[in-house]
Amino acid sequence: MIELQHVTKLYPASSRPALDDVSTEIDKGEFVFLIGSSGSGKSTFLRLLLKEDDPTKGNVIVNGKTLNTMSKWQVPKLRRTIGCVFQDFRLLRNRTVAQNVAFALEVINKPQRTIKRVVPEVLEMVGLEGKAQRLPSELSGGEQQRVAIARAFVNRPLVLLADEPTGNLDPETSEGIMLLLERINRTGTTVVMATHDYHIVDSMRRRVIELNGGALTRDQSRGVYGVGR
Amino acid sequence: MRVNFVLSEVATGLRRNLTMTVAMILTTAISLGLMGTGLLIAGMISDMKEIYYDKVQVSIFLADDVTDEQRSAIEQQLAGSPEVANHIYESKDEAYARFQQQFSQQPELVQNTPADALPESFRVELVNPERYEVIAAEFPNGQNGVDQVRDEGDFLDRLFSLLNGARNATIAVAVVQALAALLLISNTIQLAAFNRRNETNIMRLVGASRWYTQLPFILEAALAGLIGALLAIGGLVVTKVLFVDKTLAGPIRAGIIPPVDWGAIAFISPVIAAAGVGLAGVAAYVTLRLYVRI
């Protein structure tokens, strides 16, 4: 599903690599925590999977496609198979909940018929069925993140990438978000979540990949956040 | 492609940057208007060249006391000369009639000019217009009934170099204006892309095609270019009706200046529109490629 082969990423402005010879493999349907302190390379890891950046060395393979050799015009097609969730939600403030979710389908040319059908479905799934006509500013942080997850999942991606999705949320709200991500994972979607939240990592006991200064220092199934935090 | 979506994005974009949009449209309009003027002048110059150069290149004015023998001698010499392609004799009466027609807008001038004030002449068309000197040497001034030999081509050259200069200056200003318009378009598009960075970032992440993401911006610029072009064409029409047709009516009727006809404006209008839309669209596209990550 996802494979990194000796991936090194150097940013021009920095002498230290953001990722240093990282190799790993993530299978279809896995739930993986990507942990490490700020600047350890978690975000770079996720960016490479989206082909927002290219590795300096090594290969990144997502859904059977080697991203290094992928031409620019194929990138949108790749991204349609990957959902993304961020710490800061990234919703459109002047659009309602339903419009925010529908936007993701409209801009990839889904027929209006399909949009009308699947948007209420996915809003129900994330527990926002009564709030379709609200604006993001009228929602709590947890609810906004649910909208973002609905938008990421509405096109049924093979992979869901989450970059600190609970970073702005209190523990109870975070728990609700994690239940939702677990539910999405149970539908067969691979979930890769970068996080600092050791409570979540420790309680879920899923696979943990730890990055330290760009190097992969731990890869453990059913892992915990670790002692070095 | 969802037409509604793209059009509503375009409308929102133009409204959001209203002042920049107006500036963009006005500079584009001025630039295209000047370009159109330059093209009209160029067309006028070539029309005028046909009117003048074909008719006459050298005028041989005859002295008032020319005798019939001298006149026919000159005519024979012209008819026998290998340098001369064609020649026409114009009598005093004919010269006066042409003068009356040319200056019909200035009746005082016509009234104050005696009918025999204008000299009779031979209008000579040369095989090679450059060979004026040869003809001038064959008919020395002040001898054998010749008063003066004048190279009309020389006068016309000066006239046309003046007109060419006017055309070049107009086009140069148009080019400078076009540069300003392009920079404004580029700026407006950068601003528009910045204003809509949330939308475009999300579009990028959910896999909207590059084309889908960029098209609203390109159409926005192209629409502004089109509006600018329409204003420019309107400006040319107004200039024709209010300036050319009114102020220059006399010389046009006299055949000194060719008229600016609707055909010429109809011919250059699509050129102006295409230039406006094309340049704006290309400027937007290049800007998006260079400055905006989509």
Residues of A with Cβ-Cβ distance to B288 under 8 angstroms: none
Q: What is the pLDDT of residue B294?
A: 54
Chain A nearest CA to B18, separation (Å) = 19
Instruction: Give the residue with greater pLDDT, B294 vs A214.
Output: A214
- Chain B: nearest CA to A72, how far in angstroms? 9
B7–chain A nearest CA distance, Å: 13
Q: Find the distance separating the first CA and the last CA of chain A, reported in whole Å.
A: 30
Cβ-in-10-Å burial (0-12, 13-18, 19+) of B289 comes to: exposed
Domain end residue (candidates: B104, B126, B153): B153
- Both B176 and B241 in one domain: the answer is yes
Contact criterion met (CB below 8 Å) for A137 and A78? no
Sequence-ordered alpha helix ranges (H) in chain B: 3-16, 18-55, 68-80, 92-102, 107-111, 132-138, 152-195, 197-205, 210-239, 245-247, 249-253, 262-291
Q: How many Cβ pairs within 8 Å bridge chains A and B?
A: 52
The Cα of A222 is separated from the nearest Cα of chain B by a number of Å equal to 30
Residue in chain A lying closest to B205 (CA): A79
Q: Least CA distance to B1: which residue of chain A?
A: A109
Q: Which of B125, B153, B181 is the last residue of a domain?
A: B153
Domain boundary pick from A140, A155, A170? A155
Same domain, B165 and B268: yes
- Say if residue B170 is in the same domain as residue B242: yes
Per CB-CB distance under 8 Å, the chain B contacts of A76 are 207-210
Q: How far apart are CA B135 and CA B282, in angstroms?
A: 56
Interface confidence (ipTM) of the complex: 0.86
Q: Are residues A21 and A132 in the same domain?
A: no
Is residue B44 domain-shared with residue B94, that is, in the same domain?
A: no
CA B33 to chain centre: 11
Tell me the two tokens of residue A193.
Answer: 């979540």
Domain boundary among B153, B180, B215: B153
What does the pLDDT average to over B158-182? 87
State how far the Cα of A77 lies from the Cα of A54, in Å rounded to an integer.
17
Cβ-contact B119, B92 below 8 angstroms? yes
Q: Do the Cβ atoms of B78 and B84 come closer than 8 Å?
A: yes
**A86 in any annotated domain:** no
Give the count of domains, chain B.
2
Percentage, residues of chain B above pLDDT 90: 19
- Mutate: best of A47, A79, A107, A108, partner B, most B CBs <10 A: A107
* pLDDT grade for B1, boundaries at 50, 70 and 90: low
Number of domains observed in the structure of chain A:
2
Last residue of a domain, one of A138, A155, A172: A155
Find the closest chain A residue to B207 by CA distance.
A76
Question: Are B164 and B95 within one domain?
Answer: no
Q: Domain holding A72: CATH number?
A: 3.40.50.300
Q: Which domain holds residue A135?
A: 91-155
Do A75 and A180 reside in the same domain of the chain?
A: yes
Give backbone dihedrals phi and psi of A213, rounded to 5 degrees, phi first. 55, 35
pLDDT of residue B271: 93
B197 interfacial to chain A (CB closer than 8 Å): no
pLDDT in tens, B28-46: 999 999 999 988 888 888 8
- Average pLDDT over every residue of B263-272: 91
Q: Which residues of A touch B (CB under 8 A)?
A: 50, 72-73, 75-82, 84, 90, 92-93, 103-104, 106-109, 151, 155
Q: CA A6, A7, A8, A12 torsion: positive or negative? A: positive
Pair B108, B127 in one domain:
yes
Measure in Å the smallest separation between the Cα of A110 and chain B Cα atoms.
9
A10 and A44 inside one domain: yes
| Residues of B in Cβ contact (< 8 Å) with A155 | 206
Look up the CATH number of the domain holding residue B145: 3.30.70.3040
Q: Is the pLDDT of residue A165 over 80?
A: yes
Say whether residue B2 is in contact with chain A using an 8 A CB cutoff. Answer: yes
For chain B, the maximum distance between any two Cα atoms, rounded to a whole number of angstroms, is: 97
Domain boundary among A131, A155, A179: A155
For residue A54, pLDDT over 50 is answered with: yes
B111 and B27 in a common domain? no
A107 and A212 part of one domain: no
Residues of A in contact with B204 (CB under 8 A): 79
Same domain, B81 and B227: no
- DSSP track, A82-106: EEEEETT----TTS-HHHHHHHHHH
State whether B2 and A109 contact (CB < 8 Å). Answer: yes
Q: Could you tell me if B274 and B176 lie in one domain?
A: yes
Strand-by-strand arrangement of the A19-26 sheet: A19-26, A2-9, A57-62, A65-66
Check CB contact under 8 Å for B2 and A106: yes
Contact A78 B198 (CB under 8 A): no
A128 lies in the same domain as A68: no
Please check whether residues A133 and A183 belong to one and the same domain. no
pLDDT digits (tens, 9 = 90+) for B86-145: 888 888 888 888 888 777 777 888 888 887 888 888 888 887 776 777 888 888 888 888
Assess whether B267 and B211 both reside in one domain. Answer: yes
Question: What average pLDDT does range B167-193 have in this prediction?
Answer: 89
Gap from B190 CA to chain A (nearest CA, Å): 20
What is the DSSP secondary-structure string of B111-136? Answer: HTS-TT-SPPEEEEEESSGGGHHHHH
Domain of residue B125 covers 55-153
Q: What is the pLDDT of residue A229?
A: 46
- Any domain includes A229: no
